[in-house]
A and B are shown apart, each in its own frame.
Chain A
Amino acid sequence: MNPYVPILAIGAIGFGFAVFSVAIAFITGPKRYNRAKADAYECGIEPSPSAAGGGRFPVKYFLTAMLFIVFDIEIVFLYPWAVTFDQLGLFGLVEMILFIATVFVAYTYVWRRGGLEWD
């Protein structure tokens, strides 16, 4: 049998459980409407207008996401190398040192340009 089928099975169980919980809460919970309750929570003061959608956030988070993609792809390249490491021998090691050195240049660049600073 395809080894990915059981993953679908547990995924379906988890999904079913989650949907069931969300649905059952509609039935079991009370519904007492009140204008203040439907407001966004901001410690009791009037909520500031439009957080999401129109709300802005520091560009730093976007930068982190981009850096994550760069480094995550690097790691994905490391994995097949690591698994076949014993077959590749010295050749694989030299190749991977060159690869890591190249990535390290980019890493140093990001560091020196302040891409890793939070303040």
Chain B
Amino acid sequence: MINSKGMVAQLLGQDPGWVIALKGLLIFIFCVVLTIMAVWGERRIVARMQMRLGPNRVGIFGIIQGLADGVKLALKEDLIPKTADKIVFIIAPIISATTCFMAFAVIPLTGEVSFFGHKTVMQLTDLPVGVLYVLAIASVGVYGIVLAGWSSGSTYPLLGGLRSSAQVISYEVAMALSLVAVFIYAGSMSTSDIVVAQDRWWYAVILFPSFAIYCISMVGETNRAPFDLAEAEGELVGGFHTEYSSLKFALFFLAEYINILAVSSLATTLFLGGYRAFPGLGFTETWLGGWFTLFWFFAKVLIFFFVFVWLRGTLPRLRYDQFMQFGWKTLIPVSLAWILIVSTLRVMSDQGAPQYLIFGFAFAVVLIYLVISNYSDNAKAKLATDYKNFTPENPEFPIPISNRTEQVIQIRDEAKK
């Protein structure tokens, strides 16, 4: 039973070579099978949300539809456009597909299990900087996107690749900031230690704002609806992979789904207690522990995946400028402020500050928030009335309210005087 920090690292240090190789292979198979199932599951769920049936012909309930799609793609012609930079064009999907698997190396899938008679955990390796490693690998994955867009030698993929990479790096800032509070509470960056530190409360409960910011930015990070601007069909055909066909396209598809699973797994590990059972159900590691912990992990990841599909079935796509503004102007300052609040509260309780001081601080924070939101509401209301009175040429179409409009209003008003 794992109940102290550093235990997993010690346990994993004793793994012989064959266990590591077998675990690596199992995680790889797990990812690929899960992707095939996820493609089918997503199509079925979205179909249900749109009052359709979805794929139900290949295999029972259409369950091997994803595999059939893969086989079909393999039998398609592998085109390389003549304007493409051939070497980079071939390398780009390989980079994407390689890095997405690597993120799973540090995710703890189970608690302590007996693996062919060898005591270990289903986690490939445990790094002291585990979460930082996942973020680094996600950054390397951007190379696949940007190189694919650039090397195609075509306009749409270039724009899609640029959009996509700008989006991924912007939301990575917010995502990385949301994790700081978790590290403060866990006192570690190792994924397994963070799971151990959540033995009483999940961080999704006590650090809810961090969890919310992480959930928003993970959708932006994986280029999924409503943030799938990189492949906005109406504008960019297919985004960075427009020129790709056959299995090279399949690799990008695979990478996208494995990235979804990777960010969901990271969210599960950091905020939902990883492989631990839901609290309050009375499940302990001794009773229904071992391999059964995989079930809990799996259930939590699937909940996240369902939310991804749900979002896609529900929300329309954002406009690009609004999307980038939301990332840079809302998520980043909010997460910085949240880090300051959390760390101040933590120091206060560590130093044994009296209760009234802690409550006073919390009260002050709420007060400051109310003042700021009131101020911004007033500014918005003013802008809205300005906008209502703004009818120079009587435009029939709505004009987006932005700073630019505000400037236009000012100029018009001054001209009127």
Contacts and interface: CB of A to CB of B under 8 A. Distances in A.
Interface of A: 1, 3-7, 9-11, 13-15, 17-19, 21-22, 24-26, 28-32, 37-43, 47-48, 50-53, 55, 57, 61, 64-65, 67-68, 71-72, 75-76, 78-79, 82-86, 89-90, 93, 96-97, 100, 104, 107, 111, 114, 116-119
A44 to B, nearest CB: 11
Nearest to B343: A93
Contacts of A82: 180-181, 183-184
15 contacts: A6-B124, A7-B125, A22-B90, A26-B78, A28-B75, A39-B83, A40-B243, A50-B83, A51-B155, A68-B169, A72-B172, A79-B189, A82-B181, A83-B189, A107-B332
B82 interface: yes
Contacts of B184: 82, 85
Contact of A52 (B101, B132, B150, B404): B150
A12 B93 CA distance: 15
Nearest to A70: B173
B78 A10 contact: no
Contacts of A3: 9, 12-13, 125-127
B351 A25 contact: no
Given A24-B74, A82-B183, A10 B104 contact: yes
Contact of B180 (A24, A61, A68, A75): A75
A41 B156 contact: yes
A65 B165 CA distance: 9
A93 B348 CA distance: 10
A11 B75 CA distance: 27
A57 B158 contact: yes
Contacts of B83: 39-40, 47, 50-52
Interface in B255-293: none
Contacts of A30: 75-77
B336 A1 contact: no
Interface residues of B, number: 93
Nearest to A26: B78
Interface in B30-66: 32
A48 B125 CA distance: 49
Contacts, number: 233
B195 interface: no
A85 B343 contact: yes
Interface in B200-237: 237
Interface stretch (B306-314, B321-329, B358-366, B408-416): B321-329
Contacts of A48: 155
B150 A117 contact: no
Contact of A10 (B124, B333, B344): B124
Interface stretch (B19-27, B371-379, B383-391): B19-27
A75 B154 CA distance: 35
A18 B155 contact: no
B242 interface: yes
Given A22-B90, A53-B85, 5 more contacts: A15-B98, A21-B250, A71-B332, A79-B183, A116-B324
B248 A22 contact: yes
Interface in B235-254: 237, 242-243, 246-248, 250-251
Contact of A6 (B20, B74, B94, B250): B20
Contacts of A42: 154-156
A25 B126 CA distance: 36
Given A14-B101, A93-B347, A52 B246 contact: no
B343 A96 contact: yes
Given A4-B127, A100-B336, A89 B347 contact: yes
Given A4-B127, A9-B20, A71-B173, A25 B247 contact: yes
Interface string B144-156: 0000001111111
B102 interface: yes
Q: Sorted from nearest, which 3 A-B pairs have the closest CB atoms?
A: A40-B154, A14-B101, A118-B321
Interface in B78-133: 78-83, 85, 90, 93-94, 97-102, 104-105, 124-127, 132-133
Contact of B247 (A22, A50, A55, A118): A22
B169 A65 contact: yes
A55 B94 contact: no
A83 B251 CA distance: 36
B74 A28 contact: yes
Contacts of A76: 132
Given A40-B154, A89-B350, A13 B79 contact: no
Contact of B176 (A13, A43, A75): A75
A14 B154 contact: no
A5 B102 CA distance: 12
Contacts of B403: 114, 117
B242 A57 contact: no
Contacts of A17: 28, 32, 97, 101
B278 to A, nearest CB: 27
